[in-house]
Amino acid sequence: MELLSILRIAWRALSRNKLRSGLTMLGVIIGVGAVIAMVGVGQGASQAVQQQISAMGSNVVFVASGTVNRGGLRLGWGQTKTLIYDDMRAIVRECPAVKAAAPGGQTTAQLVFGNDNWFTNVQGTEPQYFDIRDWGLAEGVPFTQADVDSAANLAVIGKTVRQNLFGAADAVGQTIRVKDLPFRVVGVLRPKGQSAHMGQDQDDVIFVPITTLQKKLTGDTWLRFIVVSAVSRQASYAAQQEIAALLRDRHRIRPGQDDDFLVRNLADIAQLADQSSRVMTLLLASIASVSLIVGGIGIMNIMLVSVTERTREIGIRMAVGATEEDVQRQFLIEAIVLSLMGGAAGILFGVGSSLLITRLLGWAVLISPLAIAVAALFSAAVGVFFGYYPARKAARLDPIEALRFE
């Protein structure tokens, strides 16, 4: 039989019971739609996390002061005072995989401007910090190396600080008080959003020259952290090893002793987040695929009913010359048509559900063409798999018994 004739007969057979065919397709529609929507949610979450990590900077390695053991009591990270400015210089000078580095110190302080005040994190650093973090300014300019050398009272503030101190007013050029010291705001940073690995607001911060922080605010002579940029993302792993080896040597740490510093590679965090997102996406897709299997069982059930109802028709076809292959092909194509129609409607349902999730819940949903293609192919496979047994059963009917069937 010609394919066009088979499709025409299949369409007529399915059209005889529109409601039954529609209800049968419903399982496939829900299954395909659920797969597309769930994969979209998983991939959207993965993309959002990767964007948050990339917002922390490119090829970044964080070096922080470590823990210390005092009388058997192990204090938390950031308690040692062995990380110094010369360590940063040595990292840039002696580690081939390192492109640039910036020192860092921090404290907390109450900021005051007019009648408004805000408690936030104050960090001291140098101008290259903003280049390493890919953190441009929305307003104004950053402080310069000359400002660092002179320990100038200048500040670059984050978006959250700007909103809470200045509201809609201009921030650049204004003078704020930090621990009763006047600081002139020279720039406002572009928003970064929430930190992926710490969960804190990256925009709730004020940056001042590292020398100003150490001499006028904290009195520290050591660094709390060093931000390092590797020459490439792949080289960040080499940079991490080089930095660890160099600092162990400079701090005279013997083999077997714990490090008095912490080296963290953002590429590791990004890779871990990506793996977690893939597992979650696969889990969501697997759960949604159960609906497709249920829909396939519904197709098998309705095709078995159809074989029973059309037993006499099958007998007549065989009597006028139709072969077992013709009958089997006919019922198999009917099952595939039923499944593909459900798949097409399911794609529309899945895309619509994804857009609805984004609008109502505000979740990042990424509609993947690959997920749509896989869902469509899977729906066709469901039709073939679950339609084969009813088609085979129809093909093996005895023509004489089929003609006698009432």
Instruction: Reduce the DSSP state of residue 240 to 3 states and report it.
Output: helix
Q: Is residue 205 scored above 80 in pLDDT?
A: yes
Q: Is residue 287 scored above 80 in pLDDT?
A: no
Report how far residue 297's alpha carbon sits from residue 28's, in angstroms, rounded to the nearest whole number: 10
Report the 10 Å Cβ neighbour count for 169: 11
What is the model's pLDDT at position 49?
Answer: 65
The arithmetic mean of pLDDT across residues 329-335, rounded, is 76
The larger pLDDT score, comparing residue 302 to residue 130, is at 130
Q: Is residue 380 scored above 80 in pLDDT?
A: no
CA separation (Å) from 94 to 155, 239, 242? 31, 10, 9
The arithmetic mean of pLDDT across residues 400-405, rounded, is 57
Report the 10 Å Cβ neighbour count for 286: 11
What is the model's pLDDT at position 35?
Answer: 80
Average pLDDT, the chain: 80
What is the model's pLDDT at position 228?
Answer: 93
Tell me which residue of 210, 62, 185 sits closest to 126, measured CA to CA.
Answer: 210
In degrees, to the nearest 5, what angle opens at C-alpha 321 toward C-alphas 319 and 327?
Answer: 90
Judging by DSSP bridges, how do beta strands 205-209 and 116-125 pair with one another? parallel
Query: Phi and psi of 81, rounded to 5°?
Result: -120, 30
Looking at 300-348, which runs of residues are DSSP E strands?
A: none
Tell me which residue of 265, 257, 264 sits closest to 68, measured CA to CA.
Answer: 257
Identify whether the C-beta of residue 195 lies closer than 8 Å to the C-beta of residue 52. yes
Q: For the chain, which residues make up each domain, given as ranges?
A: 3-52+272-404, 102-229
Q: Which residues contact 165 (CB under 8 A, 6 or more apart)?
A: 111, 113, 116, 117, 118, 157, 171, 176
Q: What's the chain's length in residues?
A: 406
Total-model pTM: 0.62
The arithmetic mean of pLDDT across residues 207-215, rounded, is 95
